[in-house]
Amino acid sequence: MFELSQTFSFDAAHTLKRKVSAEEAAGSRRIHGHTYTAEIFVRGERQPESGMVVDLAVLREVIAGIRGQLDHHFLDEVSGLGAPTLENLCVFIYAQARLHIPQVSSVAVSRAAGDRCVYRPTH
């Protein structure tokens, strides 16, 4: 069993309604932005005809499409994302990638502040 991954980054703005201190909640409610790093993991056996789990060129094409939906966008307005949390970004990226590459096994999304979320569905 092999696991490959490809990392990409995007810059995006969002707001977030939070139940924390009034001072911290106010900062989250204002439009603000982050540089995000996402990593898509693909897991499987090598295909006999190619020797690859998935052609990385195909994975890069899929990532370009996902990045185009997120990079320099207002995440609150991205259709299908929901609240722009790290968790929802993981689920969104996973779902978009799986439309094209069924071997996608997990997704990680992080921000420079040190926050990171990993999504590994259990199906």
- CB within 8 A of 76, min separation 6: which ones? 14, 15, 84
Question: pLDDT of 34-47, one tens digit each?
Answer: 999 999 999 999 99
For residue 96, pLDDT beyond 70: yes
Top pLDDT among 113 and 13 is at: 13
Percent with pLDDT over 90 in the chain:
80
To which residue do tokens 């970004």 refer? 89
The average pLDDT across 67-81 equals: 96
Cβ pair 93, 54 in contact under 8 A: no
Residue length of the chain: 123
Domain ranges of the chain: 2-119
Question: pLDDT of 6-18, one tens digit each?
Answer: 999 999 999 887 5
- What is the pTM assigned to this prediction? 0.90
Q: What is the enclosing helix (H) or strand (E) of 1?
A: none
Name the architecture of domain 2-119: 2-Layer Sandwich (3.30)
